């Protein structure tokens, strides 16, 4: 009924009066917030920090930062803004660790909530038959890992980098090399506590307020602020066998990847990446991995080639070493990689999961972490991935890349289509992530303009050939593009927005529903 009222193609938010707020309007509304009776407080000291993110390209200054010390601080603040009515100009963005790419955790002239200051309740590990963790939405995954390992447990599904918050990744999906088996992080949550855009605190799960639960998972922060999550755990292994092999033929590489993600006995983690024209590649690997055949490996030349690296990991405890070695050998014997490129190592589970942090430290030392990051993340249907690879790796990016390019397949059956996340309509789709860094002030091939141009060529190719691609961590600048992104799911997305955030207060930096300005 509601859909027919708004008309399937109408956006209810576009009917809001378009008010251009002046700075003094915003300042007076913001100062009214400071009269609220909270456990935490508002501050204006750190507004410049809240106007930055990992992408380092978009900078919107908020008027004030909420440092919440309780869930009720968040609820009181949002309710106060909601009570101002639909024509109020104030918006609210939850900021987890601010590792967004295009200002998604920013609120121009609005309120940014520093979710990491929400430490009302401790992490609580429940070690029963179905172990789980209750944790604040502002907690970092690296802290979760340290805490759960004390109990011999760990979450099942990860991201490659752990200095991200629970609320930040659950608002997208949370994908890494375990997702083919366990699904993304949004498939591994039992329950959430959410503050909606009306300022109501609600618990939700598959059984209770299920529509809110699925709206918020992958919901880009549009329907509520995740203040608490109950996350599925499993027994944590002590160690990991971490393996890399190379291919020069994309068809053979992707065939092996797809075989591994579908096999019954397989690795615990499967990813892959593309390497374009890297000198001394295998020599670099030697600092962390051991070649199985050192003589042949030293003869392998990566110069001028486009290569595909299959990266795998097998979890193990020291008392199972022999059986895991046999499993690894048997799996490797099914694959068709270049034999001289087999590299292996064994590391602790903690070091494996926190591996990207090692690169972060190195890049920070060189001043290369806080540069612009024009990243592009795509989900590509399996039946079109060869066409994509041929054009993108064989033509658009023929000479070099400006950062890692990840590529690995995922099983759609592990994604719950009741959530807000959208994926291609095929049983298997690939994540392809162009994780570029741009050198400040460069006008060359490592400069921002060149990389953005390449991203555009890739997107244009996907569009003209109708590859059926979906962006992951999507970024669009107008509602028509968002409508296309969601496809048939757009109507339900709009319906959910009107139910849980009818005045479009939340997550304005996603630029999906703009109420004013």
Question: 453 with 445: CB under 8 angstroms?
Answer: no
**Between residue 442 and residue 481, which ones bind ligand FAD under the rule CB under 6 A?**
473
CB of 127 to ligand FAD, least distance (A): 25
Which position among 99, 108, 373, 450 bears the catalytic label? 99
Site string for ligand FAD, 221-260 (x = CB under 6 A): x---xx----------------------------------
Which residue is listed with tokens 């400006």? Answer: 402
Alpha carbon separation from 44 to 30, 62, 63, 78, 174 (Å, rounded): 10, 9, 7, 18, 31
Smaller CB separation from ligand FAD, 217 or 243: 217
> Judged by CB under 6 A, does residue 99 bind ligand FAD?
yes
> Judged by CB under 6 A, does residue 114 bind ligand FAD?
no
Handedness of CA 69, 206, 211, 170 (dihedral sign): positive
Active-site residue, 99 included: yes
User: H-type helices in 188-307, by residue range?
Assistant: 210-216, 250-262, 281-285, 294-299
> Judged by CB under 6 A, does residue 108 bind ligand FAD?
no
CB of 502 to ligand FAD, least distance (A): 17
Give the list of residues 6+ apart from residue 250 with CB closer than 8 angstroms, or none: 308, 386, 389, 390, 393
> Judged by CB under 6 A, does residue 437 bind ligand FAD?
no
Smaller CB separation from ligand FAD, 331 or 512: 512
Smaller CB separation from ligand FAD, 188 or 341: 188
CB of 360 to ligand FAD, least distance (A): 7
CB of 168 to ligand FAD, least distance (A): 2
> Judged by CB under 6 A, does residue 105 bind ligand FAD?
yes
| # residues near ligand FAD by CB under 6 A | 36
Which position among 139, 256, 268, 271 bears the catalytic label? 271
For 489, list phi and psi in degrees, rounded to 5: -85, -5
| Structure token digits, residue 64 | 């004030």
Which position among 120, 134, 160, 491 bears the catalytic label? 160
Active-site residue, 160 included: yes
Tell me whether strands 153-155 and 132-136 are parallel, antiparallel or unpaired. Answer: unpaired
Give the list of residues 6+ apart from residue 289 with CB closer than 8 angstroms, or none: 242, 244, 343, 344, 345
Closest residue to bound ligand FAD by CB = 167
Give per-residue burial for 98-135: e unless 16+ CB within 10 Å, then b: bbbbbbbbbbbbbbbbbbbbbebeebebeeeeebbbbb
Q: Which stretch binds ligand FAD (CB under 6 A): 39-47, 174-182, 247-255, 447-455?
A: 174-182
CB of 398 to ligand FAD, least distance (A): 26
CB of 473 to ligand FAD, least distance (A): 6
SS3 of residue 432 by DSSP:
strand
**Between residue 134 and residue 173, which ones bind ligand FAD under the rule CB under 6 A?**
137, 159-161, 164-165, 167-169, 171-173
Give the list of residues 6+ apart from residue 337 with CB closer than 8 angstroms, or none: 245, 246, 247, 256, 310
Which residue is listed with tokens 């602020």? Answer: 225
H or E stretch at 360: helix 355-365
> Judged by CB under 6 A, does residue 115 bind ligand FAD?
yes
H or E stretch at 219: none
Smaller CB separation from ligand FAD, 67 or 383: 67
For 33, list phi and psi in degrees, rounded to 5: -65, -35
Site string for ligand FAD, 75-94 (x = CB under 6 A): ------------------xx
CB of 326 to ligand FAD, least distance (A): 30
Alpha carbon separation from 450 to 186, 400, 441, 457 (Å, rounded): 34, 12, 12, 11
SS3 of residue 439 by DSSP:
coil
Smaller CB separation from ligand FAD, 53 or 354: 53
Residues found near ligand FAD in the complex (CB under 6 A): 53-54, 93-100, 104-105, 115, 137, 159-161, 164-165, 167-169, 171-176, 220-221, 225-226, 473, 507, 509-510
| Residue positions annotated with a catalytic role | 99, 160, 271
């Amino acid at each position: 009924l509601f859909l027919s009222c708004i008309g399937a193609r109408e956006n209810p938010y576009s009917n809001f009066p378009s008010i251009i707020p002046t700075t003094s309007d915003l300042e007076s509304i913001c100062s009214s917030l400071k009269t609220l009776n909270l456990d935490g407080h508002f501050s204006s000291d750190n507004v410049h920090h809240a106007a930055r993110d990992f992408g380092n390209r978009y900078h919107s200054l908020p008027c004030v930062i909420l440092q919440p010390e309780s869930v009720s601080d968040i609820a009181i603040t949002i309710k106060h803004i909601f009570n101002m009515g639909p024509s109020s100009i104030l918006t609210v963005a939850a900021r987890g660790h601010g590792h967004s790419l295009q200002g998604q955790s920013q609120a121009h002239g609005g309120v940014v909530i520093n979710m990491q200051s929400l430490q009302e309740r401790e992490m609580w590990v429940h070690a029963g038959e179905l172990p789980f963790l209750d944790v604040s939405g502002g907690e970092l995954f690296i802290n979760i890992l340290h805490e759960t390992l004390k109990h011999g447990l760990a979450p099942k599904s990860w991201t490659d980098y752990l200095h991200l918050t629970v609320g930040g990744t659950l608002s997208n999906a949370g994908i890494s090399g375990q997702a083919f088996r366990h699904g993304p992080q949004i498939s591994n949550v039992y329950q959430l506590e959410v503050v909606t855009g009306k300022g109501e605190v609600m618990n939700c799960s598959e059984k209770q307020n299920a529509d809110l639960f699925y709206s918020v998972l992958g919901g880009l922060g549009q329907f509520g602020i995740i203040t608490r999550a109950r996350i599925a755990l499993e027994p944590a292994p002590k160690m990991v066998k971490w393996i890399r092999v190379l291919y020069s033929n994309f068809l053979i590489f992707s065939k092996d990847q797809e075989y591994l993600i579908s096999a019954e006995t397989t690795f615990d983690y499967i990813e892959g990446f593309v390497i374009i024209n890297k000198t001394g590649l295998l020599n670099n690997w030697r600092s962390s991995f051991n070649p199985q055949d050192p003589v042949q490996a030293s003869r392998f030349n990566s110069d001028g080639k486009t290569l595909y690296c299959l990266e795998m990991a097998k979890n193990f405890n020291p008392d199972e070493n022999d059986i895991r070695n046999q499993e690894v050998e048997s799996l490797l014997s099914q694959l068709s990689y270049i034999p001289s490129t087999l590299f292996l190592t064994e590391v602790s589970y903690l070091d494996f999961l926190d591996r990207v942090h090692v690169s972060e430290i190195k890049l920070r030392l060189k001043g290369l972490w806080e540069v612009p990051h024009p990243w592009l993340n795509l989900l590509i249907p399996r039946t079109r991935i060869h066409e994509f690879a041929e054009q993108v790796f064989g033509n658009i990016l023929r000479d070099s890349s400006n950062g890692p390019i990840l590529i690995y397949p995922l099983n759609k059956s592990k994604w719950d289509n009741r959530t807000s996340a959208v994926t291609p309509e095929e049983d298997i789709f690939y994540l392809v992530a162009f994780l570029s860094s741009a050198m400040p002030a460069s006008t060359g091939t490592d400069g921002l303009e060149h990389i953005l141009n390449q991203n555009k060529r890739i997107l244009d190719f996907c569009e003209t050939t109708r590859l059926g691609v979906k962006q992951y961590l999507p970024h669009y600048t107008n509602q028509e593009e968002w409508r296309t992104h969601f496809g048939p799911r757009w109507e339900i997305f709009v319906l959910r927005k009107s139910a849980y955030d009818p005045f479009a207060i939340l997550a304005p930096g996603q630029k999906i529903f703009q109420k004013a300005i």
